[in-house]
Chain A
């Protein structure tokens, strides 16, 4: 248990659906992140939030829309996804020289 909680753990959605992934931490960390882990590929950083402000967007398509309403919560809104977007989506938070990851949401787009 890392203190970073992601829901849901598994999600199956159609290409025309809209869904949201949620991440929550009560560790007092001010930085939060979304990573994507596709099969056979290294983890890729998607978005970085620092004190609720987005500081990094690694050329992520607009069908992925992050939201950070406060330092404890991070969302990833999904719409009109493609089958190749199927992956493990990981949230992390950090303070100092250590990041804490959630267990991820396994997303399948059909």
Chain B
């Protein structure tokens, strides 16, 4: 799996938008961009994924650069419950037929300030 680079940590004020960057300059044409987050003392939780177009769901938005070498996870209004480690993961569309293996990095630890 191609490598991603994320800042080790970020801070945000409560109720403000948060933009979490991810660089993936060696991304291949068949790599999906996935985001997961891990709240303290819990397992990781799916946030969003995309291939080329920007994506929105109830949790977040994913903005993908035109050349796909970077992406940004956008939390529109941070709450204290959003404090977590956020992982940006590339997964080859054609890998692991029938299964869904994820290679986690260190992620970005997001702190939300009341």
The size class of the interface chain A forms with chain B is: 20 to 34
CB distance from B46 to the nearest CB of A (A): 5
Docked Cα-Cα span, A90 to B104, in Å, equals 13
Q: Contacts A2-B45, A43-B44 given: A99-B96 contact, CB under 8 Å?
A: no
Partner of A101, one of B41, B44, B98, B107: B44
Is A74's CB within 8 Å of the partner chain B? no
A103 touches B46 (CB 8 A): no
Contact A50 B43 (CB under 8 A): no
Assess whether A97 is in contact with B102, with CB atoms less than 8 Å apart.
no
Q: Are A97 and B99 in contact (CB under 8 A)?
A: no
Whether the Cβ atoms of A42 and B105 lie closer than 8 Å is: yes
With A2-B43, A2-B45, A92-B43 known to touch, is A99 a contact of B100 (CB < 8 Å)? yes
Closest-CB distance, B24 to chain A (whole angstroms): 16
Is B34 located at the chain interface by the 8 A CB criterion? Answer: yes
Residue of B nearest to A49 (CB): B99
CB-defined contacts of B99 to chain A, threshold 8 Å: 31, 33, 48, 50, 55-56, 94
Residues of chain A with a CB closer than 8 A to B32's CB:
97
State the majority secondary structure of interface residues on B: loop
Chain A residues, CB < 8 A from B103: 45
The contact string, 1 if C-beta is below 8 Å from chain B, for chain A 61-102, is 000000000000000000000000000001010111111111
The answer to whether the Cβ of B68 comes within 8 Å of any Cβ in the partner chain is no
Interchain CB contact (< 8 A) of B43 among A51, A56, A103 = A103
Complex: A102 Cα to B54 Cα, angstroms: 29
Asked whether any CB of chain B lies closer than 8 Å to the CB of A20, the reply is no
8 interchain residue pairs of minimum CB distance: A101-B43, A94-B100, A43-B104, A31-B99, A42-B104, A50-B98, A98-B46, A50-B99
28 example contacts (A-B, Cβ-Cβ < 8 A) are as follows A2-B45, A30-B98, A31-B98, A31-B99, A31-B100, A42-B104, A42-B105, A42-B106, A45-B101, A48-B96, A50-B98, A51-B98, A55-B96, A55-B98, A90-B43, A92-B43, A92-B44, A94-B100, A97-B100, A98-B49, A98-B100, A99-B44, A100-B46, A101-B43, A101-B44, A101-B45, A103-B42, A103-B43
